[in-house]
């Protein structure tokens, strides 16, 4: 190979590497349970009286946290009072969270936060003349940027006409600062719908039921067409006895610009049988190819936990072979890496290589109840892609800043 050709080849490789690097959005492991400052909490002193929130950011896989003052959220007792919860995030540094402000009540208020300005705006109550209210299932509220009004957003929730059918969309627009409803132009019938989060992806909102499939639509059109993408053949469940077990063994997450479905198979979904011997547990992964044309899903990979446990990186990370971990989230820049919880350990697994690539041994998701492992699964943690502007300028609220 001549020197000119070699130099040209190296230049092409460097350009490809730069392009790949530019596609790698910085991200953090975000606990969906905000930390509520108390009178003796030093971080709470930083919040008051000039700001509505702080961000405590750390390099993955160490968790990062949203800190809010007690005037915003009453606390984190759960049950009976609902735990404060981050319902949705956006890569523009917006977060939507809900919290109970009255310690004696169970009603929640929603707040739209701007992490760059460290402000939180409480959403107004839904007007009574609309004849509807936000449904109590908090994991069914989504956040989407307004494509027609730069810097504005919509908060939306599907309104069920029955357990198997949706009729309208309830929404709040930051552009108009008003609530409204829209009738759906089309809405498929389905099984009794669960609530496992709402994703913003490809200009649409996607409501996930990890037992059945995904409902999606463009909420900005006058009469949205609600459509259904069922899970891959053989993945649908008709009888669900434990939503918690679903969250520990299934999720849909975006990674590298596509939606991925991950499932741990070979385990019982009967809460009374969770400690019974497993039938060759295996982690499977599919990618959503086309929501309009079946087959919708493309098989990506599967890996037996027998092979995963046998890899020397598993015991080297201090993990326990023979104990099936709970799903947490997916690396947004590398869909081959899935994160799991085993007790207080959060670890990233390269599914193709069957090897552990990252591990945080003492990972606590609810700082108010550190010893309580009931929060250690996908419902209470996610990967949050951060805007470069937030990182380049540095977050003054963070004790440890991420490097770009």
The full set of domain ranges for the chain reads 242-385
Residue 15 is classified by DSSP as H
At residue 41, the pLDDT reads 62
CA distance 333 to 91: 13
Q: What is the pLDDT of residues 28-44, one digit of tens each?
A: 999 999 988 765 566 66
Rounded Cα distance, 142 and 198, in Å: 5
The counts of H helices and E strands in the chain are: 6, 25
Q: Which helix (DSSP H) or strand (DSSP E) does residue 26 occupy?
A: none
For residues 104 and 50, the answer to whether their CB atoms sit within 8 Å is no
Picking from 67, 85, 62, the residue whose alpha carbon sits closest to that of residue 363 is: 62
Tokens of 68: 């809010």
CA 108, CA 96: separation in Å to the nearest integer? 12
The whole-angstrom separation of Cα 30 and Cα 27 is 9
The reported pLDDT for the residue numbered 271 is 78
pLDDT per position as a tens digit, 158-175: 999 998 999 999 999 999
pLDDT, one tens digit per residue, over 323-365 is 999 999 999 999 999 999 999 999 999 999 999 999 999 999 9
Q: Residue ranges of the chain with pLDDT lower than 50?
A: 1-3, 5-7, 10-11, 13-22, 392-404
Which pLDDT score, from 0 to 100, does residue 399 have?
41
């Amino acid at each position: 190979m001549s020197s000119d050709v070699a130099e040209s080849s190296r230049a092409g490789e460097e350009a490809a590497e730069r392009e790949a690097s530019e596609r790698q959005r910085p991200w953090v492991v975000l606990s969906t349970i905000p930390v509520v400052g108390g009178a003796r909490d030093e971080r709470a002193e930083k919040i008051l009286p000039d700001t509505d929130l702080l961000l405590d950011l750390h390099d993955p896989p160490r968790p990062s946290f949203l800190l809010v003052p007690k005037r915003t959220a009453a606390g984190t007792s759960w049950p009976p009072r609902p735990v404060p919860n981050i319902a949705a995030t956006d890569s523009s540094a917006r977060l939507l969270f809900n919290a109970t402000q009255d310690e004696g009540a169970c009603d929640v208020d929603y707040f739209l936060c701007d992490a760059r300005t460290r402000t939180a705006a409480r959403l107004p109550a839904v007007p009574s003349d609309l004849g509807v209210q936000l449904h109590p299932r908090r994991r069914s509220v989504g956040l989407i940027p307004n494509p027609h009004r730069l810097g504005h957003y919509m908060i939306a929730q599907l309104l069920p006409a029955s357990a198997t059918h949706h009729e309208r969309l309830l929404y709040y627009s930051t552009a108009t600062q008003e609530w409204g409803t829209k009738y759906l132009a089309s809405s498929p019938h389905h099984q009794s719908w669960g609530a496992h989060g709402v994703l913003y992806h490809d200009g649409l909102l996607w409501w996930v039921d990890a037992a059945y499939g995904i409902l999606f639509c463009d909420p900005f059109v006058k009469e949205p067409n609600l459509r259904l993408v069922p899970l891959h053949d053989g993945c649908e469940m008709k009888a669900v006895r434990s939503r918690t077990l679903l969250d520990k063994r299934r999720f849909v997450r975006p990674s590298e610009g596509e939606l991925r479905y991950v499932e741990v198979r070979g385990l019982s979904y009967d809460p009374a049988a969770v400690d019974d011997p497993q039938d060759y547990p295996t982690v499977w992964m599919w990618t959503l190819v086309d929501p309009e044309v079946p087959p919708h899903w493309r098989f990506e990979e599967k890996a037996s936990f027998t092979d995963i446990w046998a890899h020397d990186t598993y015991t080297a990370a201090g993990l326990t072979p023979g104990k099936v971990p709970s799903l947490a989230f997916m690396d947004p820049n590398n869909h081959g890496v899935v994160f799991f919880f085993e007790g207080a350990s959060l670890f990233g697994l390269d599914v193709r290589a069957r090897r552990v690539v990252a591990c945080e041994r003492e990972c606590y998701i609810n700082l108010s109840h550190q010893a309580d492992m009931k929060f250690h699964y996908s419902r209470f943690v996610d990967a949050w892609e951060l805007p470069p502007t937030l990182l380049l300028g540095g977050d003054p609220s963070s004790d440890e800043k991420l490097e770009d």
